[in-house]
Amino acid sequence: MRKGRYLFTSESVSEGHPDKVCDRISDAIVDAFLSHDPLSRVAVETLATTNRVVLAGEVRGPEAVNAAMMEDIARAAVRDIGYRQEGFNWETMDVAVHVHQQSADIAVGVDAAGNKDEGAGDQGIMFGFACDETDALMPAPIHYSHAILKSMAEARHSGAEPILEPDAKSQVTLQYEDGIPVGVTSVVVSTQHTEKASQEELREIVRGHVSHCLPNGWMPPEDEFYVNPTGRFVIGGPDGDCGLTGRKIIVDTYGGAAPHGGGAFSGKDPTKVDRSAAYAARYLAKNVVAAGLAKQCLIQVSYAIGVSKPISLYVETAGTAEVDPYKLEKVLREVMDLSPRGIREHLKLNRPIYARTAAYGHFGRAPESDGGFSWERTDLVDELRRAFGA
């Protein structure tokens, strides 16, 4: 844990950001396949630009989820986000579907057969992280960046803030002292808005949401509170900038406060360890911190394509551990089966729970009654404490 005084910044983007529109569509398609067959294989990418959406990728699943259904899913996702603009409208946009069957070469390496367990869908490294900076056990800068945009989106959807449009970005800079966040030094929020909205009106609307989301006394100085610094943001969303699935991986995870393995989550079914193993690593790291075994915990796991067991497991606590880190690695392997099948079964990931993850972060969310965000549970705390006699 770094000593002394320093600043750290994280950003978030709203559900209406072009890349997040694409993540939402891709994950809604994953949900559709899993709703029809929990063992479906899905890897679907989305591109969005001016009044046009393109879907591409490979799947193995029920024929009921065909091109026509995928087009309907895309339109419904864009409608729910709120795009009814001249340059991007859920009703009039063109939707092209170029989705084909999964490669047999990939399937043979991943599928279970005979004495061979289900293997990883690809090689790769995945990271999970947790720290005690917030109640959600997330780094504070990304936690507050998400909260601001989510609050604004809720007000937009309810009709309370009719001048706000779907596309928005936030950025929060915190001052740390000896690894502890002590205040906010600056906040940046850029939000798409209606043609007639004034900058003064927008500034006061945004101020209300920022002050509501930050701890008391943490509002930055007025000259460090930036709202729409360019002065105008009417043309936005995919009409203003092309969007792609999987292009906001740091926003999706820890805001840069922890490493990222490089693989995106959205559009992938849970046999893909890019997604499921990152969820498992977060789950383990969060339980370590929740159990009081460390103030922060970083976990890396790695896989080889077609191989079920992880190639490696690494734990780093930045000197905050209350227990032997080497023993901690051993215990974590014992409390959870980190094979692709083991992760999916432990966290019950073969369910249609992914569209909701597409905006405001995959981590730091509350576990839901239908199994959504199951990787945010802290149900390993007692077992971890017993393992260390705590």
**Residue 19 marked in a binding site:** yes
Least confident segment among 12-26, 101-115, 163-177, 268-282: 101-115
pLDDT at 112: 56
Strand order in the sheet with 296-303: 124-131, 296-303, 312-316
> Among 149, 153, 138, 154, which residue's Cα sits nearest to residue 290?
138
Give the mean pLDDT of 105-131. Answer: 73
pLDDT score of 110 more than 70: no
**Residue 17 marked in a binding site:** yes
Give the mean pLDDT of 354-377. Answer: 98
pLDDT in tens, 187-206: 999 999 999 999 999 999 99
pLDDT in tens, 256-296: 999 999 999 999 999 999 999 999 999 999 999 999 999 99
CA distances (Å), origin 216, targets 27, 179, 221, 374: 36, 20, 14, 31
pLDDT at 78: 98
- 52 or 115, which is more confident? 52
Give the mean pLDDT of 135-139. Answer: 98
pLDDT at 111: 60
What is the Cα–Cα distance from 54 to 25, expressed in whole angstroms?
10
**Residue 264 marked in a binding site:** yes
pLDDT at 142: 98
- Of 104-118, 148-162, 301-315, which has the strongest mean pLDDT? 148-162
Domains of the chain, CATH where assigned: 5-13+140-235 (3.30.300.10), 18-107 (3.30.300.10), 124-132+259-387 (3.30.300.10)
pLDDT at 122: 79
How many C-beta atoms lie closer than 10 Å to residue 259's C-beta?
A: 15
> Among 364, 354, 90, which residue's Cα sits nearest to residue 245?
354
Give the mean pLDDT of 176-191. Answer: 97
**Residue 233 marked in a binding site:** yes
**Residue 272 marked in a binding site:** yes
**Residue 160 marked in a binding site:** no
Give the mean pLDDT of 349-367. Answer: 98
What pTM, to 2 d.p., does this model score?
Answer: 0.95
- Percentage of residues of the chain with pLDDT beyond 90: 91
pLDDT at 117: 62
pLDDT at 383: 97
- Percentage of residues of the chain with pLDDT beyond 70: 96
**Residue 116 marked in a binding site:** no
**Residue 85 marked in a binding site:** no
pLDDT at 108: 56
Name residue 20's beta-bridge partners.
none
Q: Report the C-alpha dihedral over residues 66, 279, 128, 117, rounded to 10 degrees.
A: -90
Name residue 316's beta-bridge partners.
298
CA distances (Å), origin 121, targets 43, 128, 266: 11, 19, 15
What is the Cα–Cα distance from 31 to 371, expressed in whole angstroms?
13
What is the Cα–Cα distance from 75 to 79, expressed in whole angstroms?
6
pLDDT at 118: 77
**Residue 362 marked in a binding site:** no
What does pLDDT average to over the chain?
95
Confidence band for 141, pLDDT divided at 50, 70 and 90: very high
Question: Are 10 and 141 within 8 A, CB to CB?
Answer: yes
pLDDT at 121: 75
**Residue 168 marked in a binding site:** yes
pLDDT at 115: 46
